[in-house]
Amino acid sequence: MLDAKIPAGPMDDKWTDYKGHCKLVNPANKRKLEVIIVGTGLAGASAAASLGEMGYKVKAFCFQDSPRRAHSIAAQGGINAAKNYQNDGDSVFRLFYDTIKGGDYRAREANVHRLAEVSANIIDQCVAQGVPFAREYGGLLSNRSFGGTQVQRTFYAAGQTGQQLLIGAYQALERQVALGNVTMYSRHEMLEVVMVDGKAQGIIARDLITGTLERHFGNAVLLCTGGYGNVFYLSTNAMGSNVTAAWKAHKQGAAFANPCYTQIHPTCIPVSGDHQSKLTLMSESLRNDGRIWVPKKQGDTRKATDIPEEERDYYLERRYPAFGNLVPRDVASRAAKERCDEGYGVGTSKQAVYLDFAAAIERYGKIEVSKEGRTGVGKDEIIALGKEVVKEKYGNLFDMYEKITGENPYELPMRIYPAVHYTMGGLWVDYELQTTLKGVYCLGEANFSDHGANRLGASALMQGLADGYFVIPYTIGNYLADEIYNKPVSTDHPAFAAAEKEVNDRLVTLMNIKGKQSVESLHKRLGKIMWEKCGMARNAKGLTEAIAEIQALKKEFWSDVKIPGTIEGFNPELDKAGRVADFIELGELMCKDALDRNESCGGHFREESQTEDGEAMRHDDQYMYVAAWEYAGESNWNLHKEELKYEVIKPSQRNYK
């Protein structure tokens, strides 16, 4: 079932060779071919723009009111690229190596190498589009460092890199809309893939304003629908982020790969109470200057500023002297959880650690003073100068923290705790980004391909744009070149009618349950099960329980959910109900996958598999594979394994000490 279609030849040449030999579609034929793109984040918008430019007829769909609101916009820190502008020894190979290692040797080498190769082009493309990256005084691009690497290769636009990149892609997309190459369907949600003769020929989409179902033909369907972190209810994802489109494809036959690989981001604002609807990330870039610590004494209730230096435990610096506060996300998150579980947590909930900028403020203040060549400057003035520097670098993040918590992070250390942030798993795709469902492609976070079991910071933006700008324009031609011989399927085709009926029946069923529990309350309960039993640390007992609990919850959902309003018209509760129903099914599969993988790797930590000092332990002999799950009816999946063969890099236990 799984053919990754990795081109033969040496790693360095695979992508070049592929591009040199893949099939092309002539311009006159491109006009006749329609491509459906679902989702308009970095992957979707860049793909829609690029394919539109090439001459394909593109239809793009997003559930938001404008493509510019896709959640890529919230990415803060930056985007990696092997430019080596800093002359610090970076190269395509190093980016490739760091990504594979960061992913704990669970990613496909060929895909990652391609990602590293095209990374530099992304920066060039974005600059040309007018993305205002941060610059040095000489007018050249600035870089910063990010967790899990030892070079400075991250390009950024203050703390709003995702926003700027997405606006760039959005503008390119809107340009194609203006030129008539792309038709935009906003406030639309894809609810089914239409399969004709074994390949995708369109989708059923629902107009979220009127509630009507629409049939759309397409020679290929690209799912660029982002991650499924909201299965945990509380995550840094947007409220609307969902798995529905990918899940529909999965149920039609697209394999879902590595669903259990979830990234828990170490620096998020802690939960403040039961009312919490989402969590907010504080960019990883803060770890460049912030020091993470907890009190040395358990249950210390003193104010952070009252705890003297010698009674603070800078546990990351202590445990991982080589990388210190810049260890990869999975390592930092687990270390925070470990401290809190041991009773060293801070804040009212005791589920938080400190991220402290006092040292950085003083250091920057001293640099400012020495720049001016002054001596004998008082401490207060040094601190004031340092605060200015920190404000320049992280001002917007500090403001956001203060708005949410009501605390001033320039005076008090931030309180942070890990939160669900990104999902490395997703629809299984081959080298061409095609799923196991013919004609259905998957790009960006929605696919599983490039980050293995853990994603490094500033790599998500890179992958989304690589897939959309530089990979799919080539690989889709290889498929569509054969589509020109087929007549477009009419939307009156029975397959369309059947798919539409299926979608409609499901909506009617949902509306007719008329139970007692709100969608939100059921989603919260799902999230609680997932976080407690399939969260930062997992074990066989918990996962087995979780599966049973989720199955029970599913029954409850389908017999007792309460959805107000009607199918016709704008009804966000109904939209949400459909999404939560899919999350429940996905949650079960995630637990199943986590249970199957009895090793610790990247974001997946099995308590049964750890070293003596509590570090994650992989079992390459048993689990060096991608777990691709094929849907086989309710609560039933078949596991297919794609062996991971490392030709270039030799897997080793990760060591950030």
Partner 1 sequence: MEHYNMNLNLKVWRQQNGKSKGEFKMYRVEDISSEMSFLEMFDVLNEKLIQDGEEPVAFDHDCREGICGACSMYINGKPHGPWQANTTCQLHMRAFKDGDTVVVEPWRANAFPVIKDLVVDRTAFDRIIQAGGYISVNTGNAVDGNALPINKDKADASFAAAMCIGCGACVAACKNSSAMLFLSAKVSHLALLPQGEPERHSRVINMLAQMDKEGFGACTNTGACEATCPKEISLTNIAMLNKEYLTASLVADK
CA distance 488 to 484: 9
Outline where DSSP puts E strands in 542-600.
561-562
Residue type at 295 in one-letter notation:
P
Token pair in block for residue 202: 């369109």
To the nearest whole angstrom, how small is the minimum distance from the Cβ of residue 516 to partner 1?
8
**160 forms part of the interface with partner 1 (CB under 8 A):** yes
To the nearest whole angstrom, how small is the minimum distance from the Cβ of residue 176 to partner 1?
9
**Which residue's CB is nearer to partner 1, number 518 or number 610?**
518
* CB under 8 A, 24+ apart: contacts of 337-341: 337/418, 337/536, 337/537, 338/614, 339/294, 339/313, 339/315, 340/294, 340/417
To the nearest whole angstrom, how small is the minimum distance from the Cβ of residue 478 to partner 1?
17
CA distance 424 to 412: 34
**Which residue's CB is nearer to partner 1, number 76 or number 454?**
76
Number of residues that bind partner 1 (CB under 8 A): 83
To the nearest whole angstrom, how small is the minimum distance from the Cβ of residue 286 to partner 1?
15
**87 forms part of the interface with partner 1 (CB under 8 A):** no
**Which residue's CB is nearer to partner 1, number 102 or number 168?**
168
- Residues listed for the chain: 657
**Which residue's CB is nearer to partner 1, number 178 or number 632?**
178
Residue type at 370 in one-letter notation:
S
**484 forms part of the interface with partner 1 (CB under 8 A):** no
To the nearest whole angstrom, how small is the minimum distance from the Cβ of residue 86 to partner 1?
12
**366 forms part of the interface with partner 1 (CB under 8 A):** no
Q: Which of 95, 167, 292, 510 binds partner 1 (CB under 8 A)?
A: 167
Token pair in block for residue 633: 């009816």
* CB under 8 A, 24+ apart: contacts of 649-655: 649/96, 649/97, 649/100, 649/101, 649/105, 649/109, 651/105, 651/618, 651/620, 651/624, 653/617, 653/618, 654/101, 654/104, 654/328, 654/616
CA distance 522 to 526: 6
Q: Which of 8, 28, 128, 632 binds partner 1 (CB under 8 A)?
A: 128
**346 forms part of the interface with partner 1 (CB under 8 A):** no
To the nearest whole angstrom, how small is the minimum distance from the Cβ of residue 494 to partner 1?
34
375-434 residues in contact with partner 1 (CB under 8 A) are: 399-400, 403-407
Task: Name the segment binding partner 1 (CB under 8 A); options: 18-26, 168-176, 216-224, 300-308.
Answer: 168-176
CA distance 368 to 385: 7
Q: Are 567 and 508 spatial neighbours (Cβ–Cβ below 8 Å)?
A: yes
**27 forms part of the interface with partner 1 (CB under 8 A):** no
Task: Name the segment binding partner 1 (CB under 8 A); options: 67-75, 291-299, 493-501, 638-646.
Answer: 67-75
Place of tokens 């016709």: 568
**Which residue's CB is nearer to partner 1, number 24 or number 404?**
404
**184 forms part of the interface with partner 1 (CB under 8 A):** yes
CA distance 494 to 490: 9
**240 forms part of the interface with partner 1 (CB under 8 A):** yes
Q: Are 61 and 37 spatial neighbours (Cβ–Cβ below 8 Å)?
A: yes
574-633 residues in contact with partner 1 (CB under 8 A) are: none
Task: Name the segment binding partner 1 (CB under 8 A); options: 139-147, 327-335, 445-453, 638-646.
Answer: 139-147
Token pair in block for residue 556: 């409850």
To the nearest whole angstrom, how small is the minimum distance from the Cβ of residue 443 to partner 1?
14
Which one, of 449, 423, 424, lies nearest residue 435 by Cα?
Answer: 449
**170 forms part of the interface with partner 1 (CB under 8 A):** yes
**65 forms part of the interface with partner 1 (CB under 8 A):** yes
Residue 208, Ramachandran bin (φ over 0: left; ψ between -120 and 50: alpha; else beta): alpha
**Which residue's CB is nearer to partner 1, number 474 or number 558?**
474
To the nearest whole angstrom, how small is the minimum distance from the Cβ of residue 657 to partner 1?
34
| CA of residue 185 relative to chain centroid, distance | 23
To the nearest whole angstrom, how small is the minimum distance from the Cβ of residue 85 to partner 1?
6
536-575 residues in contact with partner 1 (CB under 8 A) are: 562, 564-565, 569-570, 572-573
To the nearest whole angstrom, how small is the minimum distance from the Cβ of residue 67 to partner 1?
8
Which one, of 442, 71, 385, lies nearest residue 247 by Cα?
Answer: 442
259-298 residues in contact with partner 1 (CB under 8 A) are: 272-273, 275-278, 280-281
**137 forms part of the interface with partner 1 (CB under 8 A):** yes
Place of tokens 């099995």: 606
**43 forms part of the interface with partner 1 (CB under 8 A):** no
**178 forms part of the interface with partner 1 (CB under 8 A):** yes
**49 forms part of the interface with partner 1 (CB under 8 A):** yes
